[in-house]
Amino acid sequence: MSKEGTDINNIVNGCRNGNRQAQELLYKSFYRVMMNFCLRYTKNEMDAMEVLNSGFYKVFKNIHQYDPDKASLYTWIRTIIINNCLDFIRVKEKNIKAEELDKAEEIELEPEIISKMKSVDLLEMIRQLPIATQTVFNLYVIEGYTHKEIGQMVGISEGTSKWHLSEARKILKQLIQE
C-alpha cells in the first residue's frame, strides 16, 4: 500500500475516533475541491461556506459508515457534499416549479467562446441562473447525471430537468454574447 493510502487510512481512523487533528487534516485536504462544488450550487460565498461546513459535519458524523471497498474517500465525501447542496437548495427554494416540456430545445454554445473565458467569469454566469436551473445545469453538465437521475435527486420530472437545462443554455448564451 502506498504512503498516501496509509495516510488517508490513518486520517479516517483518527476521524472515527473523534481526533480533532485528523478532522482538521481531512477538512483541509478536501476543502478546495468541495468548496468549488458548493460555489457552483449556491449564489454566494457565504452560502457556499455554510453548505460546505454543514456537509463536513455530516462527513464527520457518518465517517464510521465510510467503506473504502465501495467508493474512494473523495467520492464518498463528494456525494455527501452534493446531497447537502441539494438539501440547501430545497430549503432555500421551497417551491421550485417549472413548466414541463417533453423536448428541450438544444442551444449550442460556441466552444471557442467558452475556451476564451476565465473559469471565474463562467462560474459567475452560472451563479446568475435561477436556482433550480443552476442546479440542473450543474448536475447534468458538470457532474454527468442523467435527466432521470436528476429528476429523482431533485424531485422533478425528467421533462422539467430537460427544460431547466435548455433554459440554462439559453440564458448562458445570452450572457456570453453580452
pLDDT score, position 117: 54
pLDDT score, position 103: 36
Q: Describe the chain by its helix, strand, coil percentages, rounded to 5.
A: 75, 0, 25
- Run means of pLDDT, 10 residues per run, the chain, 178 residues: 65 94 95 92 90 96 93 94 89 51 43 55 83 89 89 88 91 83
The C-alpha cell that represents 144 in the structure block: 454527468
Cβ–Cβ under 8 Å, residues 41 and 135: yes
Architecture of domain 3-92: Orthogonal Bundle (1.10)
pTM of structure: 0.65
**With 0-12 CB in 10 A as exposed, 13-18 as middle and 19+ as buried, what is 177?**
exposed
Q: How far apart are CA 77 and CA 30, in angstroms?
A: 8
Domain ranges in the chain with CATH number 1.10.1740.10: 3-92
Largest Cα separation within the chain, whole Å, is: 53
pLDDT score, position 74: 94
pLDDT score, position 93: 66
Q: How far apart are CA 43 and CA 27, in angstroms?
A: 22
pLDDT score, position 96: 43
Query: For residue 75, what are the contacts with CB-CB under 8 A and spacing of at least 6?
Result: none
Query: CATH classification of 111-177 is 1.10.10.10, yes or no?
Result: yes
Amino acid at 78: R
**What would the DSSP string read from start to end of 70-86?**
TS-HHHHHHHHHHHHHH
Nearest to 140 by CA among 172, 177, 178: 172
